[in-house]
Amino acid sequence: MTDVVLDRPLYWQDVVAVADGAALSLSEGAQARIAGARAIVEAIVARGIRAYGVNTGVGALCDVIVDTAHQRTLSRNLLMSHACGIGAPLGARETRAIMAAAINNYAHGHSGIRPEVVEGLVALLAGGVVPEVPARGSVGYLTHMAHIALVLIGEGRARIGDETLSGAEALARIGRAPLVLEAKEGLSLVNGTPCGSGLGAVALARAARFVAWADATAALTFEALGGQIAAFDPESLALLRSPGIRETGDALRRLLDGSPALAASAGRRTQDALSLRAVPQVHGAARDVFETTGNTLDRELASVTDNPAVAGTPEEPKVFSEAHAVSASLGLALDSLGVAVAEIAAMSERRLDRLVNPLVSGLPAFLAEDGGASSGFMIAQYAALALVGENRRLAAPASLDAGVTSALQEDHLVHSTPAALKALTILDNAEQILAIELLAAAQASEIAGFGGARGTESVYERVRAEIGPYRDDRPLSDDLARAAALIRGTLAPQG
């Protein structure tokens, strides 16, 4: 895995690389920008220039002046009061992604926290320290980063491997002492959009893997059901102007090239059901959404999202009280990402239904060897349908939730972090729906007995290397979980 040196703004793929374990370091230029911004904050403090969260309270307390003697207390108290997350903690991948996005934000040189604070976050990543961050309880930012920042001051909890430690113990384990935060540092540590950006990058990486598996699974089903390959003709698909449809069509043709089964079924029907012939259109549209989401993430990572932002020089400091942390574009993009993933999964369930329904498949009912004593994939299709319904409910836009917080001071919210978390939950469901279709398609290919294309044979062999045919001889849920892990890329070796 290639290490990431932060000099220019990170791309979303860089964030994912760090989330997956790549080392992150700061270039000399990034370190200089961070130090330069800190000098501006120190000038603001020394000269008593009014600046939100530096020498004032926050939220509805923005007009309450905080004198120099209490600015350290303000920074520390912000972490304590904002660390109010709820529920099970995020995984290590998600937490590391947020930390990488936060470090990226500080490296722009407009936040004003000391270099040693940023270096502390880099050290946590390098030492495999994963702060314990409850997943729920954020309308956009604040709580997740507060739990991460607690570890920097020796508070909170963190995991190193399978061990859970106090923040102080975790710091000691990597040879670092707790920090005492100075003016503005508490606010900068909880502010901005690293939560939505980091989680969104992880969701987009999973979505890209998911759609590739969706192509492969759809091709396996298409072949088992004897689809009409003319639907994927490149000249025909080119009539719809979409980079995504072109990419999907190319993938399907590669997977199905030379299929004896499709050669035998050619011309048997005028056209297939939409869940078969519209795979390029649906998967392609989703790919186009993913591309837009990636561009939005990259713009967000290239932007300063801390409030306030500092600029100018120590001699002529500037402070901008802005609203960049609202992250409307990010919330809208991540809502779209979730809908696109849910759409692919909904189509997968419709293909699954055709595989198990003897009225349209020509295969044994529910792909069972003994249609009387065995139920095969009958109830697995029920499970897929249930998850499609759950995704439909989850796909309601978080960005329209709005709400009012902080005594009317923060009276419009876009909920980018909840949109990212929601997209991750939709992906959990979608991967499982696709896993059910994948196993059913492998079973149908065996029953149909047609020769497969080299591409689909490779998919089939990948499945069968991990999961055998199903004969009502074991709980099906174990197979489904293993297939979902295969799609997700987290499959553990069999013991």
Give the active site residues: 52
Tokens coding 122: 């880099």
Q: Are strands 24-26 and 4-6 parallel, antiparallel or unpaired?
A: parallel
Select from 293, 201, 283, 198 the least CA-distant residue to 237.
283
Phi first, then psi, for residue 242 (nearest 5°) are -160, 120
3-state percent helix, strand, coil for the chain, nearest multiple of 5 = 60, 5, 35
Q: Under a CB-based contact definition with an 8 Å cutoff, are residues 281 and 245 in contact?
A: yes
Distance CA 252, CA 233 (A): 10
Q: What is the secondary structure of 371-392 as a DSSP string?
A: TTT--TTHHHHHHHHHHHHHHH
Q: How many CB atoms lie within 10 A of CB 203?
A: 31
Phi first, then psi, for residue 402 (nearest 5°) are 55, -130
Write out the H or E segment, with its range, that includes residue 134.
Answer: strand 134-136
Distance CA 177, CA 166 (A): 13
Cα 165 to Cα 152, 162, 241: the distances in Å are 13, 10, 54
Query: Could you tell me which residues are beta bridge partners of residue 65?
Result: 56
Residue 293 CB-density burial (10 A; 0-12 exposed, 13-18 middle, 19+ buried): buried
Q: Would you tell me the crossing angle of helices 194-224 and 416-448 to the nearest 10 degrees?
A: 20
